[in-house]
Amino acid sequence: MTDPLALFDEWLAEARAAEVNDPEAMALATAGADGQPSVRMVLLKGHGPQGFVFYTNAESAKGTQLAENPRAGLLFHWKGLRRQVRIEGVVEAVGEAESDRYFSTRGRDSQLGAWASDQSRPLDERATFERRFDDAADRFAGGDVPRPPHWRGFRVVPEQIEFWSDRPHRLHERRLFTRDGDGWIEGLLYP
């Protein structure tokens, strides 16, 4: 049996070496209380035995959906390698200190953008957002930009991880790992 987290590390390392654009990009699928699915691309910002971490505005559409239904699916698609990884699991908030640490590594304009944006809400015109960005820049001029209280990390704690490899004639290989207590059960799926 293979450890799916170690296998993911191997595949991600290969993707970082081979993929031209954003090998850490992953599709994040969520659904709110109404069950309506929604999917968008986000960036993987950390991973390990505890799960797969991304950051966002907790008041955004995805943040609201995760508050209503704390389950999500992730998909990494590395077209050049002809591979993908699907992850499904429960979502938990990342701690304040961890969110602060990551926020401090972001570029200043990205930090200011987190203050300026009411992510996912209607915007009357681009100039409004640009004005809010300038206001945030003035507010924090000459100092560090603190993490906004609504901006945080989320961790997808995997219950299932599927590794998909392309094979000729659509005879693909699909390896499914399902969490079993502290370990994993490995199986195969038909293509």
| Catalytic residue ranges | 170
The encoded tokens of residue 186 equal 């490995």
The encoded tokens of residue 131 equal 């004005």
Task: Measure the CA–CA gap between 61 and 38, rounded to whole angstroms.
Answer: 9
Amino acid, single-letter form, for residue 176: L
Helix (H), strand (E), coil (C) string for the chain: CCCHHHHHHHHHHHHHHHCCCCCCEEEEEEECCCCCEEEEEEECCEEECCEEEEEEECCCHHHHHHHHCCEEEEEEEEHHHCEEEEEEEEEEECCHHHHHHHHHHCCHHHHHHHHHCCCCCCCCCHHHHHHHHHHHHHHCCCCCCCCCCCEEEEEEEEEEEEEEECCHHHCCEEEEEEEECCEEEEEEECC
